[in-house]
Amino acid sequence: MQRYPPLIDPYNRRIRSLRISVTQRCNLNCIYCHHEGELTPAHAHAENEITIATIGSLVRAATAHGVRKLKFTGGEPLMRDDFAEIISNVPRLDDISATTNGTLLEECAHDLADAGLNRVNISLDTLRPDLYQSITGHDMLDSVLDGVAAAVDAKLTPVKLNMVLLSGTNVDEIWDLADFARRSGDVILQIIELMKSEGGGSGSGSGSGGGGGDGDVDVGAIERTLRARASEIITRDMHRRKKYMINGAEVELVQPIDNSEFCAHCNRLRVTSDGKLKGCLLSNDGLVDISNASEEEMHALLERAVALRKPYYAAGASGM
């Protein structure tokens, strides 16, 4: 229950969600990984990771300010042996989710659900084993597909499949993945435009690698095709994002590039894997260290971090 004033930044954006990176370790090497906007994965060691106690104190404090949604990310969160304990140690919110590459999910999906996880986003850019290995550096597609099935069975739903569009690589698989989502149960396909992160790397990633992921996909053409094929189009409040209902499949198109709507309606505060509050994925200005803070100290640290927030895109600042 909210007991403290809401967290509202200088652009009148109220913080309602936390996105916490619990590790930079990962068992894949995806060509577009942006490391959640952290400057370098060089500190990707267990001894440098945010602790269970710090996460619990932060979330309890944030909840007192009205935060009601929580997403855990990495790296790969399931690389942490204590991930289920992390989930069980935070308050029950309206929505607790995690992003994962799915390779380790089959064995722990039910344990995570029992710990309090509500749903998962699973990275899946292709259904072709050779292309999956080219994108991720590993032959683990079957493990991901098993992870999707396990997540559905554990009711970590709706499962969202994150498909990053890579030019000349996987664009022709959109409809195959939409059909896979439809056949898999309570599964949604999210088609994600590749971003450019600070420092010149590609993002959703730190490098575009050999997959042709240079962000030059004609997303407008894809959107027009989705619109033409959809039997129903639903516009979400957040970012005005559209959901397309196509032959029993639910497909979302995520367009962060030069999209002032993302900035204008951003209600999320990020937390780095080494315990710093971060106002924006694409900026490392104004980091606030919380790694040794008590729960009572967290309130002032949250307020400081929110006061430092500013939109990444100048267009997003106007009219807010």
The pLDDT value given to residue 151: 98
Token output for 240? 């005005």
For the cut 80, the answer to whether the pLDDT of residue 204 exceeds it is no
* pLDDT confidence bin for 282, thresholds 50/70/90: confident
Contact of 241 with 251, CB cutoff 8 Å: no
Q: In the numeric block, which tokens belong to residue 204?
A: 């959703």
Beta carbons of 155 and 129 less than 8 angstroms apart: no
CATH architecture type of domain 17-317: Alpha-Beta Barrel (3.20)
Query: Whole-angstrom Cα distance, residue 122 to residue 190?
Result: 10
265 pLDDT band, cuts 50/70/90, is confident
Distance CA 66, CA 306 (A): 13
297-320 residue pLDDT tens: 999 999 999 999 988 764 444 444
In this predicted structure, what is the pLDDT of residue 203? 47
Is residue 97 within 8 Å of 120, Cβ to Cβ?
Answer: yes
Taking the CA atoms of the chain, what radius of gyration do you get in angstroms?
19
Pairing of β 95-100 and β 119-123? parallel
- The predicted model scores a pTM of 0.90
Instruction: For residue range 189-199, list pLDDT tens digits in order.
Output: 999 998 755 43
What's the CA gap between 305 and 34, in Å, rounded?
22
3-state secondary structure the chain: CCCCCCCECCCCCECCEEEEECCCCCCCCCCCCCHHHCCCHHHCCHHHCCCHHHHHHHHHHHHHCCCCEEEEECCCHHHCCCHHHHHHCCCCCCEEEEEECCCCCCCCHHHHHHHCCCEEEEECCCCCHHHHHHHHCCCCHHHHHHHHHHHHHCCCCCEEEEEECCCCCCHHHHHHHHHHHHHHCCEEEEEECCEECCCCCEECCCCCCCCCCCCCCCHHHHHHHHHHHCCEEEECCHHHCEEEEECCEEEEEECCCCCHHHHHCCCEEEECCCCEEECECCECCCCEECCCCCHHHHHHHHHHHHHCCCCCCHHHHCCC
Query: Residues of the chain with pLDDT > 70: what percent?
Result: 86
pLDDT at 278: 95
